[in-house]
Structure 1
Amino acid sequence: MAFLWQSLQLSSVPLQMLFYINGVYYIFYFLATLAMIVYKSQVFSYPDDFLIPDLVLLFLMAILEVLQLYLGSKGNLTEEEAPLGLSVAITVGSVLLSVYFLVWQTYVLRADVVINAVLLCAHGLEAALKVVAIAAFVS
């Protein structure tokens, strides 16, 4: 009789690993997107009316990313539904901003398409794992 009680751990290890990977990837994404915006503003006739909004949206996206990663990680580790649910809601905002940088920004380079596609796939997988974790916490 080695164990008198069994600890039931509901937090998701794959989700926690994905939070870490997405955090590292987002740093790359942010720096690459910032560099491409600077590049496009120097090489192409980037309208000044669109340069500042693109930069503001990129920094807003960074804030949303930090919030959703923090709340998601906290919710997963403490096995609470509310922070994870809020993280899912914030992920929707990040996805919309990623779609903006993929489709609607002034100039879209092939590199923009690749890094945004990877980010959107990561957000989709992360959202699915969050929903599964929330379902495990509720039951």
Structure 2
Amino acid sequence: TIYAFLWTAAMLVLFAWKGTRLPYEGELRSLLGLEVSLVFVLLIIELSRLFVGSRGNKLEEATPLIIFVALTLIAALGNIYFLYLQIFVTRADLILNAISLVFQGLGVLLAIPTLITFRRAPKAAGQ
């Protein structure tokens, strides 16, 4: 969760710098606003992803972990956009989004065996 907020703050600072130093002219100016909006959308997805994954782990339920993996794929697509497809990609963009992808990949690598374990575990009476 901490990295999600640090990532958002760093990306906003980076976009403020890009907006003043790089040539966003004409239609590109509106695309700058769209890319800043995507930072907030990705923050919401990331926080939702972490909440659902934590809930699934604590309650030992498979369904939230499946949702966690799906949200991770969506968040990873957002990070890939910021890595390769945004208008101006800086070295800082590469570093910040690569770190995010590493965290997301580790989360999925840990979630899948946990998911399998929860699916195979016998259900207690009354569940």
Correspondence list, 1:7-18, <5 A: none
AA at the equivalent of 1:34: L
Residue 78 of structure 1 corresponds to which residue in structure 2? Answer: 59
Q: Please list every run of 5 or more consecutive structure 1 residues that lacks an aligned counterpart in the other structure.
A: 1-22
Q: How many angstroms apart in 2 are the aligned matches of 1:92 and 1:136? A: 21
Correspondence list, 1:1-139, <5 A: 23-46=1-24, 47-139=28-120
Q: How many angstroms apart in 2 are the aligned matches of 1:76 and 1:124? A: 17
| TM-score calculated relative to the size of structure 1 | 0.82
Residue 123 of structure 2 corresponds to which residue in structure 1? Answer: none
Q: How many angstroms apart in 2 are the aligned matches of 1:51 and 1:75? A: 36
AA at the equivalent of 1:91: T
Measured after TM superposition, the shift of residue 114 of structure 1 is 0.7
Could you list the per-position Cα deviations for residues 61-109 of structure 1 after superposition, in whole angstroms to 9, with x for gaps in the alignment?
0110111000000000000001111011011110000000010111111
Measured after TM superposition, the shift of residue 45 of structure 1 is 1.1
Moved runs in structure 1, 4+ residues, more than 2 A?
A: none
AA at the equivalent of 1:37: F
Q: How many angstroms apart in 2 are the aligned matches of 1:55 and 1:33? A: 8
Measured after TM superposition, the shift of residue 49 of structure 1 is 2.3
| TM-score calculated relative to the size of structure 2 | 0.89
Q: Which has the higher contact order (CA 8 A, sep 6+)?
A: 1
The answer (yes or no) to whether the contact 2:4–2:47 under 8 Å persists in 1 is no
AA at the equivalent of 2:2: V
Q: How many angstroms apart in 1 are the aligned matches of 2:30 and 2:74? A: 23
- 1:45 partner SS: coil
Identity over aligned residues, as a percent?
32
